[in-house]
């Protein structure tokens, strides 16, 4: 559905006759050089992958720190597992991974013909548990645009043809979106957002997403405390500064919500649990290894696998999927393998010794302090100089619904109450 603009209004768009709401405080908005329509605020949901909230206190993020100081700041608890795809999908569906279907970055589904999911999978079948925010926004006539977000290139509700060329038929995507590519640099991403906002009102998005992977990439490669990770943090901060400057030039007020999907903790080559210490290949197949390992028993070897994984070990805990502690909210989805072994922060379960030098990882217990995620909200909808206590990342879903003008959805894991204090 599109917003209908009255004809007289369309004709007069460039003269500013279609102004709806005066610009409000928040992002510093300087008066435009020539008279133009006072723009209603847009909402921009930004994810900085792997940005640990304490990076804000390193004195290297003038622009993010300014948004936080003049807005709302909090640390968020990611959903388990504290990995990229499960958490981005949790934020835009209001459901934790157990219910949103993206239970890991890599997964299998016992029911489907589709054997494996990886981060490149855009077959809607994997993503169909719940509509993301932009799909509900579109249905309500709120135009949306995604400058990357995991799942934004998926035609929600569509179907991939079984036969070559395996086209996806039907389904809903944001009005504007771009296939994911790391080659699109930070300022090109910001330029794309600004170009979209330069359009006439009828085709201009009012709910936008923006995503940066650079801080996560550096965090993995060098660890969270390395100067090169700080350089990536500073680079993304500059992109945020560029965004706010360009918004101001455009006279475009914005409610900006900056989140991350998880934090990052240092890992070293000597803190490794050999996969073979947990289970024999004769008893079970490892579906995933790393900060956690998941296993499916081989036929007839269920008891042997259970006996092996039930033995207590240092630095790792294993559970059958039905007995994973309740606070993880994880274990009922068919895509979760029969057994989960979770390493302590800093440890990894690996089939071979690591080849890379020390670095960083995430995916651990979502309540571990180093896994905490960033939250900043700034703009006319939000309070100033406010710090919120820790909340769950699924609550961001409820907050965004409120800010973009969608009614609250029932049956979600995310709730408005823990984040309501962010609102003006
Ligand atoms: P993780 O393995 O959990 O650290 O995932 C982070 C990686 O996800 C980054 O290196 C990104 O390049 C990648 N990524 C983020 N968004 C997308 C996307 N839409 N499609 C494919 N990969 C993505
Ligand atoms: Zn991530
Ligand atoms: Zn990562």
Maximum Cα–Cα distance for the chain, whole Å? 76
pLDDT of residue 296: 96
pLDDT tens-place string over residues 80-109: 999 999 999 999 999 999 999 999 999 999
Q: pLDDT per residue over 193-233, tens digit each? A: 999 999 999 999 999 999 999 999 999 999 999 999 999 99
Is it the case that residue 2 has pLDDT exceeding 80?
no
Quick one: residue 204, left, alpha or beta (phi over 0 = left, psi -120 to 50 = alpha)? beta
Q: How confident is the model at residue 279 (pLDDT cuts 50, 70, 90)?
A: very high
Q: What is the per-residue pLDDT across 313-372, written as a single tens digit (0 to 9) for each?
A: 999 999 999 999 999 999 999 999 999 999 999 999 999 998 888 899 999 999 999 999
* pLDDT above 90: residue 174: yes
Task: Compute the distance from residue 37 Cα to the ligand 3 centre, in Å.
Answer: 41
| Residues in contact with ligand 1 (CB, 6 Å cut-off) | 49, 83-84, 105, 119-120, 148, 150, 180, 182, 213, 216-217
pLDDT at residue 134 is higher than 80: yes
Q: Is the pLDDT of residue 8 over 60?
A: no
Burial of residue 182, with CB atoms counted within 10 A of its CB: 0-12 exposed, 13-18 middle, 19 or more buried = exposed
Q: How far does the centroid of ligand 1 lie from the alpha carbon of residue 422, in Å? A: 29
Please indicate whether residue 229 is annotated as part of the active site.
no
Q: Say what the pLDDT of residue 357 is.
A: 80
- The CA 84 to ligand 1 mean position distance, Å, reads 7
The protein residue whose alpha carbon is closest to atom 22 in ligand 1 is: 119
Rounded-to-integer distance, Cα 348 and Cα 351, Å: 10
Best probe residue, ligand 1, of 119, 122, 236 (max atoms within 8 Å of C-beta): 119
pLDDT > 80? residue 18: no
Average pLDDT over residues 58-70: 98
Q: What is the structure's pLDDT at 27? A: 47
Residue 32 has pLDDT above 70, yes or no: no
Q: Which atom of ligand 1 is nearest to the CA of 105?
A: 3
pLDDT(111) > 60: yes
Do 272-357 and 42-265+364-422 have the same topology in CATH? no
pLDDT of residue 7: 33
Residue 5 has pLDDT above 70, yes or no: no
Q: Whose CA is closest to atom 11 on ligand 1?
A: 213
Rounded to whole angstroms, what are the CA distances from 318 to 18, 274, 305?
A: 60, 14, 11
- What's the confidence (pLDDT) of residue 10? 33
Domain range list for the chain: 42-265+364-422, 272-357
- Per-residue burial over 11-37, b if 16 or more Cβ lie within 10 Å, else e, is eeeeeeebeeeebbebbebeebeeeeb
How far, in Å, is the centroid of ligand 2 from the Cα of 309?
28
For 42-265+364-422, CATH number out of 3.40.720.10, 3.30.365.10, 3.40.50.300, 3.30.1540.20 equals 3.40.720.10
For residue 81, whether the previous peptide bond is cis, meaning omega lies within 30 degrees of 0, is yes
Give the mutation target among 49, 183, 290 for probing the ligand 1 site: most ligand atoms within 8 A of CB. 49
Q: Which residues surround ligand 2, an ion (CB under 5 A)?
A: 49-50, 84, 216, 261
Question: Which CATH architecture group holds 272-357?
Answer: 2-Layer Sandwich (3.30)
User: Using 50, 70 and 90 to split pLDDT, how confident is the model at 113?
Assistant: low
**pLDDT band at residue 24, thresholds of 50, 70 and 90?**
very low
**The predicted structure's pLDDT at residue 114:** 67
Single pTM value for the model: 0.91
Of all residues in the chain, what percent carry a pLDDT higher than 70? 91
Provide the pLDDT for residue 14. 32
The bound ligand whose nearest atom lies closest to the alpha carbon of 216 is 3
28 pLDDT higher than 60: no
Answer yes or no: is pLDDT of 3 > 50: no
Hey, whose CA ends up nearest to atom 18 of ligand 1?
Answer: 150
Question: How many Å separate Cα 20 from the centre of its chain?
Answer: 31
Give me 345's structure tokens.
């922060």
Give the dihedral sign, CA 248/252/257/263.
negative
Q: Which atom of ligand 1 is nearest to the CA of 83?
A: 3
Does residue 31 surpass a pLDDT of 60?
no
Query: Residue 169 has what pLDDT?
Result: 94
Ligand 1 atom closest to the CA of 152, numbered from 1: 19
* Backbone dihedral angles phi then psi of residue 240, each to the nearest 5 degrees: -65, -40
């Amino acid at each position: 559905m599109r917003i209908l603009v009255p004809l007289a209004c369309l004709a007069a768009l460039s003269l500013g006759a279609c102004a709806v709401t005066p610009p409000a405080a928040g992002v510093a908005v300087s008066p435009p050089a020539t008279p133009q329509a006072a723009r209603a605020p847009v909402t921009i949901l930004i994810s900085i992958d792997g940005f640990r909230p304490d990076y804000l206190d390193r004195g290297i993020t003038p622009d993010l720190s300014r948004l936080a100081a003049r807005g709302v700041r909090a640390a968020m608890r990611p959903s388990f597992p504290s990995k990229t795809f499960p958490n981005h999908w949790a934020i835009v569906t209001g459901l934790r991974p157990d219910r949103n279907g993206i239970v890991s970055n890599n997964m299998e589904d016992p029911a489907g013909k589709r054997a494996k999911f990886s981060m490149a999978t855009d077959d809607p079948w994997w993503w169909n548990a719940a509509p993301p925010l932009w799909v509900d926004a579109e249905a309500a006539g709120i135009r949306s645009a995604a400058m990357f977000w995991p799942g934004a290139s998926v035609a929600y509700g569509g179907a991939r043809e079984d036969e070559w060329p395996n086209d996806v038929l039907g389904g809903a995507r944001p009005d504007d979106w771009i296939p994911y590519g790391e080659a699109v640099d930070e300022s090109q991403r910001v330029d794309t957002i600004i170009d979209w906002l330069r359009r006439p009102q009828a085709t201009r998005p009012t709910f936008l997403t923006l995503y940066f992977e650079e801080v996560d990439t550096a965090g993995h490669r060098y660890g969270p405390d390395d100067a090169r990770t700080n350089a990536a943090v500073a680079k993304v901060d500059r992109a945020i500064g560029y965004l706010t400057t360009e918004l101001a030039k455009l006279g475009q007020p914005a409610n900006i919500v900056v989140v991350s999907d998880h934090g990052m903790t240092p890992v070293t080559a000597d803190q490794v649990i050999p996969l073979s210490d947990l289970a024999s290949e004769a008893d079970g197949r490892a579906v995933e290894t790393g900060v956690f390992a998941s296993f499916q028993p081989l036929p007839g070897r269920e008891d042997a696998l259970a006996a092996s994984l039930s033995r207590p070990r240092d630095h790792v805990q294993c559970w059958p999927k039905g007995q994973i502690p309740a606070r993880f909210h994880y274990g009922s989805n068919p895509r979760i393998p029969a057994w989960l072994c979770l390493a302590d922060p800093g440890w990894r379960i690996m089939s071979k010794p690591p080849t890379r030098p020390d670095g960083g990882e995430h995916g651990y217990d979502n309540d571990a302090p180093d896994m905490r995620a960033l939250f900043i909200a700034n703009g006319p909808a939000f309070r100033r100089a406010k710090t919120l206590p820790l909340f769950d990342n699924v609550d961001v879903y409820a907050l965004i619904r409120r800010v973009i003008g969608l009614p609250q959805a029932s049956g979600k894991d995310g709730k408005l109450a823990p984040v309501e204090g962010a609102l003006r």
